[in-house]
Structure 1
Amino acid sequence: MKIAFTGKGGSGKSTMAALFVQYLRTAGHRVLAVDADVNVHLAPLLGVTARAAGALSHPDNVRDVRTHLLGGNTRIAGVEHFVATTPPGPGSRLVGLDARDPLVARHATALDERTHVMHVGTYEAKDIGSGCYHGHLAILENLLSHLDPADDGWVVCDMVAGTDAFANTLHAQFDVIVVVAEPTPESVSVARRYRELAGAAGVADAVVIVGNKVADQMDLDYLRSALGVPPMAFLGLQAGLRRARQAGAPPRPEDLDDASALARIAEHAAGRSPSAGHREELLRTLHLRMAGKGWVRAAHGDVTAQLGPVPAGAAPGH
């Protein structure tokens, strides 16, 4: 199960993601937590120091991850021809969600034997004036698209804030996308826009809204009215959580007055049965769109050959 947390910056999405990781961890699930926010908040919230050399987007790590994923896939001319949308093919190596997998062993920090944390990285001084965080996220796209579908663990990703996920394939990579919304016009506008773009992108059914910092019934009514749909779950102001954070302690479900929102998210995700065929069609369409870009053709040649045969029942041109 792959679940992402996003929302307006400051909405509490990173804290919500950290709480959810700890909730799953306490319940005994295997969890791979991925910090994919440029601000790198999830890893520290889980007690992990996010060093630049350990970031997935570090050039040495990018090459290591792609070399491993490539395996014996002859549809890809070489590791240098990986693009963000490159799909797995015959001979590719798929990724598991614990330290038995070489990539997890090499690039994740273990909280315990069943819970591991990766981080994509952030801007470094050398990137000033010339870097783009979307480029950093390409290696995460590769990793997500090569996850073993038979693995029964959880991937929990703290995504970039706002609607940036629609600039790449991340919106199509997750089974559930939790948009965290505060009862403010700015936060609600991001959540509404996310739902609109999700509808246009064909992933509307993956998106749920979770309210945060809800002080009273008026806040909850405001969210329902302004969003046009009721939040699937919500958290209150959570003074106990704030005190724990002020003391420097990682957020934990036991800091909450009521952890039922975390249980509701888990139940919703576990009850979903996303269509693998629909996701494959979406990712295939996005790869063809990427393949048509001039800079991709100049740098990598024709990458359409990285796709396999058109799946039965797919629309023409997909």
Structure 2
Amino acid sequence: MKIAFAGKGGSGKTTLSALFTRYLAATGAPVVAIDADINQNLGAALGLSAEDLARVPPMGGHLTEIKEILRGDNPRIASAEAMTKTTPPGRGSRLLSVSPDNPLHLRFGVPAAGATLMVTGPYGEDDLGVSCYHSKVGAAEMYLNHLVDGPGEYVVMDMTAGADSFASGLFTRFDITFLVAEPTLRGVGVYRQYAEYAGDHGVEIQVIGNKVQGEDDVAFLREHVGDALAACFGFSPFVRAMEKGRHPELAELEEANVKTLAWMRDAVDSAGKDWAKFTRQSAEFHLRNARRWGGDNGAELAAQVDPDFQMGPEALAAQRG
């Protein structure tokens, strides 16, 4: 299952992304954690040192290499240069699984808290003033577009803060989106933006209240987000220690917050998996991209869509066969 953590900056989404990743990995499940935030803090929240993080190859700095891997021998994609971040997979494309031999995991992944961590990478000196961060996040979007995840397999992505994720089709790539919201007007404001943008695309958003200190905070969140409020994290010395750079053993997490993590996993496991919709939305956003940004190459980009291809386990099995 593909899971997004979204929210405003400072809401605690990175901390909860790391905590949920640790919780899933502790059960023995295969977990991939992706840092797609412009502030690259997920690795540190998972316990990696600055020296460890400096050795993690950023996906956003190797877009051509990733495209070359993913395009495979798809006859509709003439070259890596012809491929965009929204180009959907088709017959001949290299599909990915949540497994150790996934070529992107081998190239860009590192062990972290029992999971495989990949990062899109920070802004570099060459990026300032000439590119937006979405060019780097495009690497994660391509990864998700080509990934066939099965039951009991998890990909957790820490998203860019705010509503920036709607600048591409990335927000449609997830089975469930947890929006982390503090009990403040600014905290619930991001939810209203997400709900408005995502409503027409069937994107499921569940609000996780964070830094909740009593029934008044719960009532405030319920007043502003209604039934979207799924669960709450109360004040947590464990989480506060994480935010200070310490990494207590998971067994030290407060019982009420353990129950919240368990509920979140149950919500993820019960979310529907619709590969036909996943495939359709990939094509829709790519065609929109072709019309708006393709210019003279718009028709060539549109022709990259394989109308007879459907993403999913059968396509992955056919590739292996």
Question: TM > 0.5 between the two?
Answer: yes
Q: Which residue of 2 aligns with 1:50?
A: 53
User: Take 2:251 and 2:305, find their aligned partners in 1: how far apart are those partners?
Assistant: 46
Q: What CA distance in whole angstroms lies between the structure 1 residues aligned with 2:145 and 2:151?
A: 13
Quickly say closer, same or farther: Cα 1:182–1:150, change in 2 above 3 A: closer
Partner of 2:284: 285
Is there any run of 5+ residues in structure 2 with no aligned partner, and where?
311-321
Contact 2:56 2:110 in 1 (8 A): no
**Equivalent residue number for residue 173 of structure 2:** 173
Structure 1 residue 51: deviation in Å? 3.0
Alpha-carbon deviations, 1:168-201, whole Å to 9, x = none? 011110001100010000011111221121103x
Q: Which moved more, 1:80-89 or 1:225-234?
A: 225-234
> 1:32: how far off?
0.7
The answer as to whether partners of 2:98 and 2:149 remain within 8 angstroms in 1 is no
CA distance in 1, matches of 2:283, 2:228: 33
RMSD: 2.1
Partner of 1:84: 85
In structure 2, the partner of 1:194 is: 194
Please name the residue that 2:246 is paired with: 249
Task: Provide the C-alpha distance between the structure 1 equivalents of 2:12 and 2:71, rounded to a whole number of angstroms.
Answer: 36
- 1:66-81, aligned counterparts within 5 Å? 66-81=67-82
Check conservation: 2:15, 2:243, Cα contact below 8 A: no
Whichever residue aligns with residue 187 of structure 1, its letter is: G
Contact 1:45 1:251 (C-alpha < 8 Å) held by counterparts: no
Deviation at 1:142, TM superposition (A): 0.8
Q: Distance in 1 between matches of 2:13 and 2:242?
A: 17
Matches within 5 A, 1:111-150: 111=112, 115-150=115-150
User: Residues of 1 paired with 2:171 and 2:15: CA distance?
Assistant: 20
Q: Tell me the CA shift for residue 298 of structure 1.
A: 4.6
Q: Name the stretch that deviates more: 125-134 or 138-147.
A: 125-134
Q: CA deviation at 1:47?
A: 2.3
- 8 A contact 2:291–2:298 mirrored in 1: no
Aligned in 2, Cα 1:279/1:255: closer, same or farther, shift over 3 Å? Answer: same
- Identify if the C-alpha distance between structure 1 residues 311 and 69 changes in structure 2 by more than 3 Å, giving closer, same or farther: closer
Residues 91 and 309 in structure 2, CA contact (< 8 A), matched pair in contact too: no
Please give the secondary structure, in 1, of the residue aligned with 2:195. Answer: helix
Equivalence for 1:315? none
Asked if the contact 2:205–2:228 (Cα under 8 Å) also holds between the matched residues in 1, the reply is: no
Q: Distance in 1 between matches of 2:152 and 2:247?
A: 26
Question: Aligned residue for 2:274?
Answer: 275
> Which amino acid is 1:168 matched to?
S
How far does the alpha carbon of each residue in 1:123-157 deviate from its partner, in whole angstroms, 9 at most, with x for none? 11122211200111111111110002447521000
Q: Which amino acid in structure 1 is aligned with residue 260 of structure 2?
A: A
Secondary structure, aligned partner of 1:263? helix
Amino acid aligned to 1:221: A
In structure 1, the partner of 2:263 is 264
The number of aligned residues is 305
Q: Which residue of structure 2 aligns with residue 157 of structure 1?
A: 157
What 5-or-longer segments of structure 1 have no aligned partner?
A: 313-318
| Residue in 1 that maps onto 2:306 | 308
Give the corresponding residue for 1:35.
Answer: 35
Q: Is the 8 A contact 2:22 2:115 kept in 1?
A: no
Give the % identical residues: 35
For 1:12, the equivalent position in structure 2 comes to: 12
Return the alpha-carbon distance in structure 2 between the equivalents of residues 167 and 51 of structure 1: 28
SS at match of 1:50: helix
Output the amino acid matched with 2:54: R
The answer (yes or no) to whether the contact 1:245–1:251 under 8 Å persists in 2 is no
TM-score normalised by the chain length of structure 1: 0.90
2:105 is matched with 104
- Counterpart in the other structure of 2:2: 2
